[in-house]
Structure 1
Amino acid sequence: MIQIAVFSDVHGNLPALEAVLADIGKRGIRQKFCLGDLVDFAPWGNEVIEKIRTLNIPCLMGNHDERIAFDIPVIPLSKHSEEETEARFIAIYHSKKDITEVNKRFLSELPFHLKLNYKVGKKHWNVQLMHSSLASNDMYLYESENDDVFIHMLEESQSDIVVMGHTHLSFKKDFKTKGWAVNCGSVGRSKEENRLASYLILTLDEEQVIPEIVQIVYPVEETVRGIEESGIPDYYAAFLKNEKISAF
């Protein structure tokens, strides 16, 4: 049996990342992978990057990482309220100023996809990791998406399981003989009602793949305080506290 942990969308939330890494460590899981979006919306972007670098955790390039690494302009999104649009511009501009050149270079060199192959007994398992999809790191694929979209991704990547993040909403879809599609949720900016830090454990044995979404408590008040004491809009503190804010 092999176990791997996959997490995504830390978004500068160091207390949440540390809680997730501690939980993974307590379980004795040594294989760890990150699907990207290390920066924006909480004040520890540099510290998060440096922890991923120091621990040598393989990490993909999320859309926020790409924007900060290459100074890509921020474009308003139609799904955002006027309040969130304004907050988003300020928060991302804060990262563009705050992230060090060394860390921007690290982000610029991250891979786009990562395909893993594990051998358990006589069985080989192919695991496709991506930030949001095979074609883009900025495509929103929710659980409600047509099953054919995920089945095509499994077939295109020739994988037994595809794992993604980006939407900040976890799900598991079992397509039986065709494989699994899993979203591991978000470590640092969950959009789920409980706002807990979320990650995925994959258990591989000779017979099957078992995906488990793990959601854990972290000191959200520490993150809230950090946001309120930084140049990041309080919008993101209210979001983590699950207070009433404009639709996201």
Structure 2
Amino acid sequence: MINRMDMIQIAVFSDVHGNLPALNAVLEDMEKRGIQQKFCLGDLVDFAPWGNEVTEKITHLNIPCLMGNHDERIAFNIPVVPLSKHSQEETEARFIAIDHSKQHITKENKRFLSTLPFHLKLNYKVGKKHWNIQLVHSSLSSNDTYLYESENDEVFTAMLKESRSDVVVMGHTHLSFKKSFENNKWAINCGSVGRSKEENRLASYLVLTMSEEQIIPEIIQIAYPLEETVHAIEESGIPNYYADFLRNEQALML
């Protein structure tokens, strides 16, 4: 067992996507665990109606945050490009949902999104050991690259080597995973707070516990008032596609 005096804990989360009830639940859980240092990997906006409130909560709490691909799109009015992996229904819903964010984001919040950093490198000293933690939204070279657990190990070990880090933490895919390598190296996806693609649709985030000897990563998944988010989507100008997605009714029938 690690003595709490000889360890450091941080929390990393990503992909809130305007889902304020999910963010509140995750932050409350972090507080219950006594985790003071929190980091966000981006994508504060799109797909749920609280993009402004989520952004303002991040700024009010002074949580360091990266620029996700959705944040960049809203901040700089980047055109939406259809993706081959999306169905026609999702493609049409995506255009409307992102336009909803562009229409409703405040100037102040848009300016904040435009100033977010692309990467963040952390160094923690525990005893005589220095741990290097590389935070990215999706990869070192892009904030819109889809890296899944099924990728070859070489993809992740190359990221660890290039960043000279012990741990690379990413988001973007909305699917959490942990991959361990030699010499206590890790590649981790912390999942999504507000738009999980995992069957349970729970809000996910990562806790990293660092001691002098090792790093222990834990993916935390918690429930939140999902129906509150669903109803808010249905009452907004955001397509009901995203409410149905959160309900995941097809999975519930299996």
Which residues of 2 match residues 107-186 of structure 1 at below 5 A?
107-177=113-183, 179-186=185-192
Per-residue deviation, 1:40? 0.1
4+ residue runs over 3 A deviation = none
Contact 1:154/1:178 (8 A) holds in 2: no
The answer to whether the aligner puts 1:89 opposite 2:95 as a matched pair is yes
The answer to whether residue 44 in structure 2 is matched with residue 24 in structure 1 is no
1:34 partnered with 2:40: yes
Query: Normalising by structure 2, what TM-score?
Result: 0.96
Unaligned runs of 5+ in 2: 1-6
Matched, 1:54 2:60: yes
Aligned-residue offset at 1:4: 0.1
User: Which position in structure 2 is the counterpart of 1:10?
Assistant: 16
Question: Given the alignment of the two structures, is residue 200 of structure 1 paired with residue 200 of structure 2, yes or no?
Answer: no
Q: What letter corresponds to residue 217 of structure 2 in structure 1?
A: P
| Counterpart secondary structure, 1:115 | strand
Deviation string 1:116-154 (CA, Å, 9 cap, x unpaired) is 000000000000000000000000000000110000000
8 A Cα contact 1:13 1:45, kept in partner: yes
Counterpart CA distance in 2 for 1:207 and 1:52 is: 32
Q: What secondary structure, in the 3-state scheme, does the structure 2 residue paired with 1:75 have?
A: coil
1:19-75 deviations in Å (ceiling 9; x for gaps): 000000000000000000000000000000000000000000000000000000000
Deviation at 1:243, TM superposition (A): 2.1
Report the identity percentage: 81
Kindly indicate whether the alpha-carbon contact (under 8 Å) linking 1:10 and 1:38 is maintained by their aligned counterparts in 2. Answer: yes
Q: Distance in 2 between matches of 1:133 and 1:35?
A: 11
1:180 is aligned with what amino acid?
W
Aligned residue pairs total: 245
User: For 1:227 and 1:176, how far apart are their aligned partners in 2?
Assistant: 44
Pairing 1:207-222 to 2, within 5 Å after superposition: 207-222=213-228
Tell me the secondary structure at the aligned position of residue 134 of structure 1.
Answer: coil
Amino acid in structure 1 at the alignment position of 2:11: A
- Does the residue aligned with 1:177 lie in a helix, a strand or coil? coil
Conserved 8 A contact 1:238-1:244: no
Q: Please report how far the alpha carbon of residue 176 of structure 1 lies from its aligned counterpart in structure 2 after TM superposition.
A: 2.1
Q: 1:187 aligns with which of 193, 196, 209?
A: 193
Counterparts of 1:142 and 1:188, CA distance in 2: 19
**Helix, strand or coil: the match of 1:38?**
coil
CA–CA distance in 1 between the matches of 2:250 and 2:232?
A: 20
Alpha-carbon distance between aligned partners in 1 of 2:170 and 2:29, rounded to the nearest angstrom? 20
8 Å Cα contact 2:144-2:172 kept in structure 1: yes
Gap change, CA 1:83 and 1:244, over 3 Å in 2: farther
Structure 2 residue matching 1:117: 3-state secondary structure? strand
Q: 1:228: Cα distance to partner?
A: 0.4
Q: 1: distance between equivalents of 2:42 and 2:65?
A: 6
Report the TM-score, using the length of structure 1 for normalisation.
0.98
* Matched residue SS, 2:249: coil
Aligned-pair CA distance for 1:178: 6.2
Which structure 1 residue ranges, 5 or more long, are not aligned? none
Contact 2:184-2:215 within 8 A present in 1 as well: no
For 2:249, the equivalent position in structure 1 comes to 243
